[in-house]
Chain A
Amino acid sequence: MSRLGRLSLIAGACFTAPLLFAALLRTGGDAAALETVPPSAEPRQGFAVPAAESVSDFRTAVWAPMTRAVWSRRSPKPDAPQLVRVRLRTPEDTTNLVQILDHKRHEASGRVWLKVRLTSLPNGQIGWIPRNAVGGQQSVETKLLVDTKKFSAELIVGGRAVLKVPVGVGQAISPTPLGEFYVRNKLTRYRSPFYGPLAFGTSARSNTLTDWPAGGHIGIHGTNRPDLIPGRISHGCIRLRNPDLVRLGELMPIGTPLEIQ
């Protein structure tokens, strides 16, 4: 069928269907009114468009990049007590991200405030920042669960476990902190066998190595001692065997929530 013919068929179907339906109603449901419509083959489709599904089934978190540094506050209003400064860049010189837990409009100013997870010590702090301090919000459908007792990391994608690997976690003197965190950057192409081929930076911080350079952030990285995994082997970071880490790097986007238990 020619292009014009196909378009005519689609346009014709759009416009004649209501008319035929109306005619059917007028004739009291006489199906004979449809007999004048010539049969036609279903048009071939160039590609498949799936059925529409609920968009909120598998989202695990929403994040946004900081576009300016601001003070976080205890409640969603400009004169609430300050908590900590939320910076524009991370210690690794990537854009700082915040994980967004809630929105609230400050009625007096009309401005929207965001409830965010803070990266300062003690771990687990929550604060509020103005929405206009962040860029576009992104959502993820992934979650990384780290079990420090079973020495395992499990990646959930779209509600389904797609990767489960053994890990090394912090020793007794420098334990891996427990709680809810998020992945905020990925470092690649450095030359450090100790950290393996790539490393994820997280919002978690060591509770014991507080004077560590760059703030003592907990990373998820590879190793040059795969024989030590699984076990309590690190200064708090989560160590994976390098092939497992490369696989994780392919599957886990920035902004993924991290639960350490």
Chain B
Amino acid sequence: MIFRHRVILPLCLALIAGCASKAPQTAAAQSGPSRAVQASDDNRAVLAQMTPGLVMRLDIDKNVVQLLDLELALVPRSTPPRGSAGDQVLVTGWRGTERVSSVAVADQRVNVQEEVGIVILDRRSLHVALPTPRRIDRIEITLPGATTPQRFPVDQVFERACAQRNDSDLCR
């Protein structure tokens, strides 16, 4: 063991000492000329992750859901819910009998307030971005533990958006 100390430690200290002699340097950058960037190239990665969707607010009072502030927007594509996040509210977009998309959002019913403890919110607001790559006619919302979803027609949102251009993919 003493041999190891005599060999390794001095070697190590020598190496460290050598490195430590190099003082940190800071410099301000020298700028070169600027060149324009094509907007399509610049935004390609972002837009590739986006899809048309419905943004909405869900006001929940016990088991009753109100659907508010419904609006078409570009939203991130979502992945199927994995169920690893605790109680979740499932929001599904339907066109007739076809399920077009779904997203799960965390239910915020159970809260913890500092120095108070668990606070159950029967009334809470959740915010949802539901991808709708194609037109849907209704949304179904299923609360945790509920066996049947609550249904909301969303035809009017698409009617308004499609009033001028019904040849869009979203309007067919």
Q: Do A and B bind each other?
A: no
Residues of B within 8 A of A (CB): none
